[in-house]
A and B are shown apart, each in its own frame.
Chain A
Amino acid sequence: DGGITQSPKYLFRKEGQNVTLSCEQNLNHDAMYWYRQDPGQGLRLIYYSQIVNDFQKGDIAEGYSVSREKKESFPLTVTSAQKNPTAFYLCASSQGADNSPLHFGNGTRLTVT
Chain B
Amino acid sequence: AQSVTQLDSQVPVFEEAPVELRCNYSSSVSVYLFWYVQYPNQGLQLLLKYLSGSTLVKGINGFEAEFNKSQTSFHLRKPSVHISDTAEYFCAVSYYKLSFGAGTTVTVRA
Chain A residues in contact with chain B, CB under 8 A? 4, 6, 40-43, 45, 90, 92, 98-99, 101-107, 109
* Stretch from B44-52, B64-72, B75-83 at the A interface: B44-52
Q: What residues on B are CB-neighbors of A45 within 8 Å? A: 98
A and B contact pairs by CB, cutoff 8 A, 14 listed: A6-B43, A40-B102, A40-B103, A42-B103, A43-B44, A43-B90, A92-B43, A98-B96, A98-B98, A99-B32, A102-B44, A104-B43, A104-B44, A106-B41
Complex CA distance for A92 and B62, rounded to whole angstroms: 25
Please classify the interface of chain B as helix (H, G, I), strand (E, B), loop, or mixed, using the class held by over half of its residues. Answer: strand
Complex CA distance for A104 and B102, rounded to whole angstroms: 17
Chain B residues in contact with chain A, CB under 8 A? 9, 32, 34, 36, 41-46, 49, 51, 90, 94-96, 98, 100-103
Q: What residues on A are CB-neighbors of B90 within 8 Å? A: 42-43
B49 touches A101 (CB 8 A): yes
Q: What residues on B are CB-neighbors of A6 within 8 Å? A: 43
Closest CB pairs A-B (n = 3): A104-B43, A42-B102, A43-B100
Kindly identify which residue among A42, A98, A107 contacts B42, using a CB–CB cutoff of 8 Å: A107
Question: What is the chain B residue whose CB lies nearest that of A4?
Answer: B43
Q: Known contacts A42-B101, A43-B100; is A101 also within 8 Å of B95 by CB?
A: no
How far does the Cβ of A67 sit from chain B's closest Cβ, in whole Å? Answer: 21
Q: What residues on A are CB-neighbors of B96 within 8 Å? A: 98
Q: What residues on B are CB-neighbors of A101 within 8 Å? A: 34, 46, 49
